[in-house]
Amino acid sequence: MLLETVTADGLPPIKSIDINISAEEAVRTARLECVIVGSGLPAAIGQRTVLRASGDPMLTGYVRDIDTGYGRDMRSLSIGLVSATVDYVECSAEHATGEWLDKSIEDIARDLDGLGIGIESDGTNFPKEPRHKLIQGESPFSSIERRARGRGILIHDTEKGRLKLATKPEGRHKGTLKRGINILPGASASFTERGRHSEVKVRGQSTEGVDKAQLRPETVARDSGILRRRPLIILHEGEVTIDRMKTRAEWQAKRAAGASVTASIPTTGWRDAGGMLWQRNWLVDVDDEWLGIRGTMIIKSVAFSQSSDGGEGGGTIATLSLADPRALGGENPRGKTADGYAAPGEIEAEYQDE
């Protein structure tokens, strides 16, 4: 039975563990079942720790919860961990003026990082926001998330407890997830047109200018995978430009197309064919004729679990939540697979007058 050596700095030995990491959430979590001996508790609320799998960091953050108890002949100790980014999500933002002019979302995120969480990006040159204003009492995450919605930006944490802004897949895993080899029983897939529209129109208005492009601008992104007319109209969040409206329309249409094909695949071990831990927002090839999927998918989230107990449920398993790469800003997968996963072609927004 393949087991990772899982440790958490300053915490007692770990008997079993569950870790959840997502490309669409800013805080990863873990639940540890630990060995407890002697009097008192060997952990404290708010204690900083780094969780590692065979030396590789998986979570940097704090002890969130401690639950303990005992029976006639046993004791239990359960510890919950959260990423250090939890403070960026839960605490109120503090800023001298609460207003930014001509700053990018990355610059704004750094200015709001008064707690020293740390901000990263995938190298994207984010456009400058003409004006951004902080709402009293909101968290730094809530403030930048309002802008991220209209910019096609994902906000998630890293294994080092920092916040990351991303607009595209970050890499590709080695090897292939293949039925009968490394895909365990319990795999499933879902195909739906829910949320998809034949055309997505984004409308808005600029505070400057009197031409049609400022007063009544509209961009349209079309999804050729929807054969009947299903229109959707979205009001752009914040100040508009044609480029921003195109990005908003394309992001909406791509994410809807991507979310129409999802899969849940349990696999043996926590690592790919190259020995790398499974990563959210990374691409992976899937070949499973029973699920009707043969092509590239993106990892939306990973649930890692390990238990040294024998029998059903024991061992080291990673359950990957997968989607069409466009769900997280990637490109058309063009895989050889079932009709439900057929590529609808390039989604590119165009400008037109409302």
| 62, 93: one domain | no
Residue 51 sits in a domain whose CATH number is: 2.30.300.10
pLDDT digits (tens), the chain, 354 positions = 478 999 999 999 999 999 999 999 999 999 999 999 999 999 999 999 999 999 999 999 999 999 999 999 999 999 999 999 999 999 999 999 999 999 999 999 999 999 999 999 999 999 888 889 999 999 999 999 988 876 789 999 999 999 999 998 999 999 999 999 999 999 999 988 888 999 999 887 665 544 554 556 788 888 888 889 999 998 876 666 777 788 788 878 887 887 888 999 999 999 999 999 999 999 999 999 999 999 999 999 999 999 976 555 568 999 999 998 877 777 766 555 544 444 444 455 555 554
Sole residue written with tokens 């129109």: 201
Closest CA to 122 of 171, 184, 51, 60: 171
Please report the pLDDT score of residue 215 as a whole number: 53
* Count of beta carbons in the 10 Å neighbourhood of residue 75: 12
Of 86, 20, 76, nearest in space to 48 by CA: 86
Does residue 271 belong to any structural domain of this protein? Answer: no
**Inter-CA distances, 151 with 19, 100, 104, 236, 277, Å:** 29, 17, 11, 10, 29
- Predicted local distance difference test score (pLDDT) of residue 151: 79
Residue 130's pLDDT is 86
Residue 155: per-residue pLDDT:
96
Phi, psi of 91 (to 5 degrees): -90, 150
Q: Does residue 184 share a domain with residue 162?
A: no
Containing structural domain, residue 307: 169-264+276-354
> Considering the domain boundaries, does residue 193 fall inside one?
yes
Q: Are residues 207 and 350 in the same domain?
A: yes
Q: Which one of 83, 118, 136 terminates a domain? A: 83
Q: 320 and 174 in one domain? A: yes
Residue 144, domain member (yes or no) = yes
Instruction: Tell me phi and psi for residue 160, to 5 degrees.
Output: -95, 5
d(CA 66, CA 35): 13
Predicted confidence at residue 239, as pLDDT, reads 64
> How many domains is the chain built from?
3
**CATH code for position 96:** 3.55.50.10
Spatial distance between the Cα atoms of 22 and 212, rounded to a whole number of angstroms: 41
Same domain as 127, residue 58: no
Rg, C-alpha atoms of the chain: 23
Pair (157, 293) in one structural domain: no
CA 32 to chain centre: 22
Whether residues 132 and 190 fall in one domain = no
- Residue 335's pLDDT is 57
For residue 222, being part of any structural domain is answered with yes
Same domain for 120 and 242: no
pLDDT value of residue 342: 45
- Give domain status of residue 98, yes or no: yes
How many other C-beta atoms are found inside a 10 Å radius of the C-beta of residue 200? 26
Among 144, 166, 188, give the residue marking a domain's end. 166
- Token pair for 235: 């009001």
User: Does residue 337 share a domain with residue 242?
Assistant: yes
- Residue 92, classified by CB atoms within 10 Å of its CB into exposed (0-12), middle (13-18) or buried (19+), is exposed
Given 139, 166, 193, the domain boundary residue is: 166
Question: Are 321 and 347 within one domain?
Answer: yes
In a domain, 270, yes or no: no
Within this chain, do residues 335 and 213 fall inside the same structural domain, yes or no?
yes
- Looking at the structure, tell me whether residues 51 and 97 fall in a common domain: no
The pLDDT of residue 197 is 92
